[in-house]
Amino acid sequence: MFWDAQLIVPTPLPGGGDTIFYFASAPRILLLFRNGLLQTPGAGNDFIQSGPQITFTTAPLAGDDLIALVGW
């Protein structure tokens, strides 16, 4: 199976106390990194994904780098 993979930054940018971030559409595959560390998905872990939305357990701080490797 092949898919289109991209490195993207979810919106909005970290620092406003937001825990909810969005992609333009729902990725089929998601690897999410915060300050270079792979985040663990699932309830009670680092974040939860629901469609194009990700919700962090704790809000990223100003200056945190968020980047995602997504497969569409």
Residue 66 has pLDDT above 90, yes or no: yes
Yes or no: say if 47 and 54 are a contact pair by the CB < 8 Å rule. yes
Distance set, CA 7 to CA 27, 45, 66 (Å): 12, 22, 10
* pLDDT(3) > 80: no
Residue-range domain boundaries for the chain: 5-71
Q: Is pLDDT of 13 > 60? A: yes
pLDDT bin (cut points 50, 70, 90) of residue 72 is confident
Residue 24 CB neighbours (<10 A)? 11
Tell me the mean pLDDT in the region 40-67: 96
What pTM does this model have?
A: 0.89
In this predicted structure, the answer to whether residue 52 has a pLDDT above a threshold of 80 is yes
Residue 1 reports pLDDT greater than 60: no
